[in-house]
Copies of this chain bind each other. A is one copy, B any other.
């Protein structure tokens, strides 16, 4: 049979966000935070995710201000960097992923760490005031926390720390939440991933729904 379906992208977004606001328990979030959490739920297709989302006080404002000031978005994987909607970015911000840089493989071998973690060493020139978006690798988030142990390491403006999975994901996010070196956002537990992370970046980039 030939299918008929909603073909208006704006209307699909409107209906989706209305369903999420009707079903999810968003009472504990400020309006500025709520728009971020709604978009994260949308990307996951999962009402209930809001129970696992934690935003530190000032995270939403710090991340939004950084992007308005032209901060780059530093992403652990290309599934994150490719998902950021460039037209939503307020200052034609750079979106950077260093994972495919040819230096990373050797760096990882030297460090005895994953390529995902090694790639962050190449963030250093961009890290000051940046918005960090980690959506895949727990080792990247752990390595970032260790880098920030050094007071000489430049500070990002905000960290979206949402690696996904079974080994190290929960632990790395708990570590970020315990340390809070800068304002941050996590999804507790195993859930997370590139789509949820991208959604947070896209929500911060513009208040337009």
Contact = CB atoms under 8 A, between A and B. Distances in A.
Interface in A76-131: 77-79, 82-83, 112-115, 117
Interface residues of A, number: 52
A192 to B, nearest CB: 6
A9 B2 CA distance: 46
Contact of A3 (B7, B44, B175, B194): B175
A67 interface: no
A166 B83 contact: no
Interface string A31-61: 0000000000011111000000000000000
A5 B171 contact: yes
Contacts of A193: 43-45, 193, 195
A154 interface: no
A68 interface: no
B46 A139 contact: no
A165 interface: yes
Given A44-B193, A45-B193, A82-B78, A3 B146 contact: yes
Contact of A138 (B5, B112, B167): B5
A5 B194 contact: no
A19 interface: yes
B195 A42 contact: no
12 contacts: A1-B149, A3-B142, A5-B138, A6-B139, A6-B168, A16-B165, A77-B83, A79-B195, A164-B195, A193-B193, A193-B195, A194-B194
Interface of A: 1-3, 5-9, 12, 15-16, 19-20, 42-46, 77-79, 82-83, 112-115, 117, 138-139, 142, 145-146, 149, 164-169, 171-172, 175, 179, 189-195, 198
